[in-house]
Amino acid sequence: MTVKQLSLPELVDACRDLGVPGVGLWREPVQSYGVEAAAKLVRDAGLAVTTLCRGGFLTAIDPAERAAALADNRRAVDEAATLGTDTLVLVSGGLPAGSRDLRGARERIADALAELGPYAEEHGVRLAIEPLHPMFASDRCVVSTLAQALDLAERFPARQVGVTVDTYHVWWDDTAPEQIARAGTQDRIHTFQLADWTTPLPEGVLNGRGQIGDGSIDMREWQGYVEAAGYTGPIEVELFNDELWARDGREVLAETARRFTENVRP
């Protein structure tokens, strides 16, 4: 998503040229290209698929909407398995229209995980609940903190449900380091993502994630927390940024790889 202006073949080429060993893919471009074809493309290039983004949106009250969401998440699990990644990132969903009940929405996520967890496990895929920054609590993700994500995940085996740690969403939270330790003890850190916090936020606040090194987040500090918690998996960079998307994709990928090297310990 960081370089969504690149087609999948362009992305795979650019990763190979830059020595980027793995890539987190999003469902929409994979579906457009064809899931099997995308799987072959990355496999032939020797590129690992670190995660698939994203499942989730599990907060609907309406039974038909809810059934559709569950079916879509099963398809996402299938796609992850086909792509050869063991991790499906979940963005839980916001409040249904007219609802003010955050607690109820969070419980419906738990109910959905009880159905999706075993299905995912059968396909060798782990679900990774991603707490999103509290500014998304109403319209995108009622799970706002690692503590909330772990409270949900802990109801299920770690091989079914864990969490995504994304610096952009948790950097402000002084309880996040201890929650990362809690997640590590349970082997529930399923992926670790980087984006920097920059202001002013753009209208709608979705597409203002800063390039690594441009903002307020000390990436090495957060790398230290997940590593101390036992995490040894890939570190992803996920930037939603209109300005980066307007630039040449290969140039942005090269810049991102450089910033990664400058701001992350080897």
* Other Cβ atoms closer than 10 A to 248: 12
User: Using the rule CB under 8 A, is 174 a contact of a second copy?
Assistant: yes
- Cα distance between residue 129 and residue 131, in whole Å: 6
- Shortest gap between Cβ of 144 and a second copy (angstroms)? 5
- Total Cβ atoms within 10 A of residue 114: 13
265 touches a second copy by CB under 8 A:
no
Rounded CA separation 175/88 (Å)? 25
Q: Judged by CB under 8 A, which stretch of 22-30, 132-140, 152-160, 225-233 contacts a second copy?
A: 132-140
For 87, list phi and psi in degrees, rounded to 5: -135, 125
Nearer to a second copy, 27 or 182 (CB): 182
Smallest gap from Cβ 135 to a second copy, in A, equals 4
Helix residue ranges per DSSP H, the chain: 8-18, 27-33, 35-44, 63-83, 102-122, 146-153, 167-170, 176-185, 219-228, 242-245, 249-263
Q: What is the Cα–Cα distance from 141 to 130, expressed in whole angstroms?
A: 9
Q: Which of 57, 168, 197, 225 binds a second copy (CB under 8 A)?
A: 197
Among positions 20-79, residues that touch a second copy (CB under 8 A) are none
- Residue nearer to a second copy on the CB measure, 184 or 215: 215
Q: State the nearest-atom distance from the C-beta of 167 to a second copy, in Å.
A: 11
Nearer to a second copy, 118 or 134 (CB): 134
Rule CB under 8 A: say whether 95 interacts with a second copy: yes
Binding site for a second copy (CB under 8 A): 95, 99-103, 106, 133-135, 137-139, 144-145, 147-148, 171-175, 197, 199-205, 215-218, 221
